[in-house]
Structure 1
């Protein structure tokens, strides 16, 4: 079953009313007599709101209270007139009044109990009615949303087709053609690598002042060696010049120069410069 068929089936469901739900509980005689009047009343009240129904209920309660008072008054007058006009007149003694009062007390207690039960039942029915009304409104809203879904799906499909037609040529880089989840995984991996690099850079930046101090110390230690090197080079040059001049002390100076060069190489290896 497609979406359109499902929506059409939901729309063709019978419209239920309170009278339709309550009709099996009514006796057949009263139902047959009031069928047409109930149907017309249901059609007239189909569009009533809960506020209007509550106002009608309060009106009818007030009306029935007045009618009950009028009925009791009329029945009392009728009985009183019948008692004084009958032949012989009806006389009631105190015991009969006491028995009647006791019966009335019992009847009132039973009536009060029935009223309490009816009040609880009405409260449960009202709560269930509110729940059903909320569910009905939800179903109506969902039905409206379902009716709008096919048009939205068609519009989205047209948008997808348009975007695919306007899409640039695919890249030769396989990383740019990954699905969503592998792309997210690759992004998380690259972000983790960037975080590691940032930590390494921060650690190196934190150690730079100490390295600079070490370099300054090595430069301070290297300065005397440079001076000695320059002096040794100068002496070697002087010795070469004297040896060329034939003074006879060139071998000693050459040996001293080799010793100084060895010392210099050893110091450079120790200082890593």
Structure 2
């Protein structure tokens, strides 16, 4: 069987080129503010709101002015917002319902008057009213079904609009990140080059990094054995620590006693020196000094008799 080929790694230059190419393609899809026009751009919320803004700015007569509290608020200088467009939509829905009611009322009055003053007058039988009522019920049911269908379509469109808005925001964020990507790639390339240089310098000073697998495993085994030996010695020292601690405490007590004796001896020596200095001028040799000379002479005689070399 042939040996499988290892996947080729992409070079840092190719990664940078691909990132720049993707950024250029993404920027070409986003229309610029200076070149975008109403004829070239697709239908957007801004274009849909143009009749609302124009009608609001061109209304001059008091009858055309809106009287609701929502309509009294002026449009923001930066353009329409989703909240303002929703308020305008609600206002136009109210106006349309009032206009429809007025239209139906006017048409009904006109038909009623024409039926009365006509020659001959229009006479409607109860049978015709019943048939008309039945047909109205059917029409109302169809109208209600159509309204429900339109409401479902509106909900679907609103959900799609919100999803598209979220996707647009994500695309804007990713565009910004993609614009930062070439600089980050260059920084990473410099960091990789620096690490490679450090690795080459380190390989020259440490030959252990260039060992083959077998010798590396052998070296690892030796290091593990050394670690186990150090752990064993450390455990022994931990076991000996309490006994050594007690011995240290005992020696500290002995040292304290010796320190006290040393202090007493130094005090006695100072006192003897002072007494010798005081009596030396009058009696010549102090009693303690004479006793010391006698002891040294006795020691010399005993060493001579015993043959001990001092």
Please report the RMSD computed on the Cα atoms of aligned residues, expressed in angstroms: 4.8
1:1-273 aligned at under 5 Å gives the runs 2-13=18-29, 17-18=42-43, 48-157=80-189, 170=202, 172-174=205-207, 200=232, 204=236
**1-structure distance, mates of 2:189, 2:99:** 67
Query: What's the offset of the Cα at 1:107?
Result: 0.9
Structure 1 contact 7–147 (Cα < 8 Å) conserved = yes
Structure 2 contact 116–122 (Cα < 8 Å) conserved = yes
Per the alignment, residue 7 of structure 2 pairs with none
- Higher-RCO chain (CA-CA 8 Å, sequence separation at least 6): 2
**2-structure distance, mates of 1:55, 1:159:** 55
**1-structure distance, mates of 2:151, 2:84:** 21
Q: CA 1:103–1:190 in structure 2 vs 1: closer, same or farther (change >3 Å)?
A: farther
Structure-1-length-normalised TM-score: 0.51
Return 5+ residue gaps in structure 2 as ranges: 1-16, 32-40, 55-77, 212-216, 245-310
**2-structure distance, mates of 1:8, 1:72:** 58
Q: CA 1:86–1:42 in structure 2 vs 1: closer, same or farther (change >3 Å)?
A: closer
Deviates more, 1:95-104 or 1:7-16: 7-16
Structure-2-length-normalised TM-score: 0.46
Aligned residues: 187
Return 5+ residue gaps in structure 1 as ranges: 21-36, 179-184, 213-273
Query: What's the offset of the Cα at 1:8?
Result: 2.4
Structure 1 contact 7–143 (Cα < 8 Å) conserved = yes
Structure 2 contact 49–85 (Cα < 8 Å) conserved = no
Deviations 1:188-208 (A, max 9, x none): 999988996787568657876
